[in-house]
Structure 1
Amino acid sequence: MNIDIIAGARPNFIKIAPIIDAIKSKKADGYEINYRLIHTGQHYDKNMSLQFFEELNIPKPDLNFEVGSGSQASQTAAIMISYENLLKTEKPDLCLVVGDVNSTMACAIVAKKAQVKVIHVEAGIRSGDLAMPEEINRIVTDSLTDYYFTTTKTASENLIKEGINESNIYFVGNVMIDTLNKFMSSFKPPKVWADLNLQEKSYVLLTMHRPSNVDAENSLKAIIDTVCENSNGLPVVFPVHPRTLKTLNQLNINYDRLYTIPPLGYLEFNYLTKYAKVVITDSGGITEETTVMGVPCITVRNSTERPETVTIGTNELVGTKSERIKLYLNKLFNEGWKEGKIPEKWDGKSAKRIVDILISNMS
């Protein structure tokens, strides 16, 4: 069995790492299973990509399309052309895509047209918000998939409602948590930890990158103002995404306790996450990690594709209005926070389940 594993952006790297480990383990046990790792280059910051590969012990990609930046359409088209050319010369048995970035959808389309079966890891998650490019990527990818691997029963139910054959859906848990559990003991403090003399539960961690929050100056300023003015005197540590930096540089923001820093690698960022008083974010993946680590999380979005982080975990979906962010920060500092639980099968064994199922189905 030959599998193409597609990765294009940093969230993908976190998800493919345990899958590659599981494949290697099965191959060592004598199973005929091989993979070809393809980096589309969707996240084109070579230093950041390289850091993630090194930290998570991911092998060097067999191929890198290096498509770089561009509009949704131009980037997707570049990935599709590159992958189509590759499949003309060497076709695998399976194409495995993860998550919901442009690379996921692009390679799923090309593989399906080339009669290659598609595996979607993290299938079935839905926000119901078609203004999110990721939601469109998810829906298109799942309309073409052959093997659906879901993180929760809710995601499986979403697929069934959409008419997917239940026999093709496998509830395996969350591969992101496989990586989190494996590397938690290796988390390390970033430079800012010593520079600011940070202590456990004595700072706020802020991340923002979604266009709706960071592309408009007034939106980003309102979020930062609200967080800084309602953080109970705690320092606010803000690793700034390149997209966010463009807008931030146009703003006249000056808070003594706001500390903007460059993006961090996986081990350093999750160290800050683990010991934060609260994480304020618009990222989906971070809400999963805070849930497992038991860290209060405030999501500045109007919808989430990961509802279990709210219903089971430590996350609260508060919307984007300043008064709602303020309300939940006041709740945190004055009343405390809910005690979350870890969702079913988020146990560090999801990748093994995936590879076991593939071997069973393909043998």
Structure 2
Amino acid sequence: MTALFGIDLKDRRVVVAGAGNVASRRVRRFLAEGADLVVVAPVATADIRQHAQHGDLVWHERGIEEADLAEAWFVLAATDAPEVNDRVAAWAEARRVFCIDASDASHGSARQAALSRHGDLAIGVISTGTPDPRRIRAVRDALAAHVDAGEVDLRRRREGHGRVILVGAGPGDPGLVTVRGRQALAEADVVVADRLGTAELLVSVPYDVEVINVGKSPDTHPVPQDRINAILVEHALAGRTVVRLKGGDPFVLGRGGEEAHACIAAGVPVEVVPGVTSALSVPARAGIPVTQRGLSTAVLVTSGHAGADATAVTAMAEGTTVVVLMGVAALPDIVTAGLAGGADPATPVAIVESGTTVEERVTRGTLADIVRFAGETGVKPPAVIVVGNVARPDLLASQIAATPPRSG
């Protein structure tokens, strides 16, 4: 009968006999676990040789010997010769060291599980009878997809220390949140959510998870930032897992740094899950590459709340792509400052409203006329403003914009 256990191999000696394709695949797993890895084989794949050159592992360019197992915690017998693998497994058995025999799992004392990770959880699948690697990988992948889709409640059942997870929800399309972001939502006891870019993600949250809406609009800030910081800390100190769900990326004009600092100052563990920032993804979905060889090799991301500062004005004048978030109200001032600073009036401008959602709309013009066009079309937040030659409508937009955004 086979039992499934978790083994911590970090900084512990793992000896691998063989350095072919099978060994190479297993070596990557051991390296990811932080093992002290020694490979013994007369010939090695290019991948193993490269790892050895970088110092990731030690490669002894010879055949395996029993003495190589002297300090081993774990052994993998993965040579091309089954009789050698069986011999290595016997050496390990005599030393009471767990060993995987890649030729015949029944001759070894351990089997390697097909593993998937989900935050601080891992799911492992093994065969208890005749080994069937493709079968266990298929089962693992199906389970992993189910968990990562947010279909499993991952909340802790035992009381523990509270923590805060800052999650970037992406620009609005729920399909653009990261896998880790969905996992974090499934772990949450409390979700503190922004107004924008998070609504559809909250549909899958269990009813007994407390959801606190701290969203802001351009003219309304019902929950000041200091209070948001306090909410995160208070719930975490009460032992809860708190997900701070923020539109875009937490650290791109999202005040995530302030929230992280508040947690650190209070002694609350905090994890940051990066998000797909609207500064890059919204233009991309609309067919606007913020950099393009021959047009712009740099991009400046700025906030409309700051207006057109000297850096943004210089960038516009020099042809660098400028992306403005939260800039609808400040658009006239930004345009005026850019033109006064030497920007070409014919510089293309695109304003993408509600990017990556079914409500997406793009208004185009130049620095000379975009304010008028924005007024005529009634541009409203949330919107991303792109200034620069990459915003030319004939560049990519006519081909890419035909692809509709996800609706959920």
| TM-score, scaled relative to structure 2 | 0.30
Structure whose alpha-carbon radius of gyration is higher? 2
Which structure: greater helix fraction?
A: 1
Which structure: greater strand fraction?
A: 2
**RCO higher in structure (CA 8 A, sep ≥6):** 1
| TM-score, scaled relative to structure 1 | 0.32
